Amino acid sequence: MTRVAAIDCGTNSIRLLVADVHTATTHTEVERSMEIVRLGQGVDRTGMLDPTALDRTLAATAAYAERCRELGVERVRFVATSATRDAGNRQQFVDGVRDLLGVEPEVVTGAEEAALAFRGAASVLGPARHPAPYLVVDIGGGSTELVLGSEDPEAAVSVDVGSVRLTERHLADDPPTPEQVAAARDDVHAALDGADVPLGRARTLVGLAGSVTTVTAHALGLPRYERRRIDGASLPVPQVLASCRALTTASREQRAAMPFMHPGRVDVIGAGALVWAEIVSRVAEEVDAAGGRLAHVVTSEHDILDGIALSLA
C-alpha cells in the first residue's frame, strides 16, 4: 500500500484526492477536497493566465501541500488540463507549483486527460451492473473529454467546449437569451460533429465532474449536495434533459438559491448543463440509429482524480 496525492487543476477548480493505493486498479479514499479558483478566467479571450487567478490557484496549491504533509503522503502527481494547455504564460504557473509541492506539474494533452478520466470511472464500473462499452464524458471548465472503451480506452477525443469557456463566449445575460443559448449550442454541435468517437457503440453513458453531478443533484431534488446519493445514480434520459434545461434557463439568483449548488458554479452551471444535454441527446440518437436504446444515464463521482491516484500504483 502506498499513500498518494492526486491533484487535478482544471479551468474552474483545483481538487485533491489523498488515497491509499493497493493495486493498479484498487484504492481507498482518505480525503477528497475542492476549491473553485477559476484558473481559466479569461484564457479563451486573452490566451494568458490572469495574475489574480494564478494567485488564487497557487494559494490553494500551498494549502494542499501542507495537507499532504499532515497526512503522510509518499507520492504526489499534479495534473493541469485545459486552461494551462492554452495559456502563453503557463511556465509561471509550472514554476510556482514546483516550488510549493516539489514535483513537476504535468500539463497533459487532451488525450491523456481523457485516458485518466476513463481509468478513474472504469475502476468502479462493472459489467454486472453496467454493460460495456462505456462512453465516459468528463465536462470541465475549458474542455470536454469523451472516451469509449470497456476495460481500456478504445477511442477518445477532447473538445474545446466547457462550462467556463461557453459562459464567457456566449452566455452574458442573466438569464441568457434564447439567441445566446442557441449560439452556445451551435458550438457544442460543431465540436461533436468533429469528434472521432463512435458514440452509437456505447451501451452505458457515464458523466463525470461538477456540471454533471450538479445536474444529477437537481434531478434527484436533493436538499443539499450528497455525494453518496449522486455517485452511481442512474437517471432516465428525459429526467436528465429536463434538469439541464432548467439549469440553463434559470437566473443566477435562482441557481444560487438551490441548496445543492456550490457557490463557485452558480455563474457557469448553465453552460455546463447545456453541454451535458447536447451530449446526452446526441448519444441517444446515435445509439438508436445503431439499433440500440439509451434509456438511462449514469453519474460517477470517480473521475480523473481517481485515475491520477491509480497511475501512482
SS3 159: strand
Per-residue confidence in pLDDT tens, the chain, 313 aa: 899 999 999 888 999 999 999 887 788 999 999 999 999 888 888 888 899 999 999 999 999 999 999 999 999 999 988 678 778 888 899 999 999 999 999 888 878 888 899 988 988 787 778 999 999 999 998 889 999 999 889 999 999 999 999 999 999 999 999 999 999 999 999 999 999 999 999 999 999 999 999 999 999 999 999 999 999 999 999 999 999 999 999 999 999 999 999 998 999 999 999 999 999 999 999 999 999 999 999 999 999 999 999 999 8
Domains, the chain, ordered by start? 2-110+305-311 (3.30.420.40), 125-304 (3.30.420.150)
Could you give the CA distance from residue 206 to residue 203 in angstroms, rounded to a whole number? 10
Cell numbers linked to 70: 499532515
Let me know how long the chain is: 313
What global pTM score does this model have?
0.89
Cell numbers linked to 149: 472503451
Could you give the CA distance from residue 86 to residue 43 in angstroms, rounded to a whole number? 7
- Give the burial class of 28: count Cβ atoms within 10 A of its Cβ; 0-12 exposed, 13-18 middle, 19 or more buried: exposed
Cell numbers linked to 228: 453518496
Cell numbers linked to 248: 440553463
Alpha-helical regions (H) of 71-169: 82-86, 90-101, 110-122, 163-169
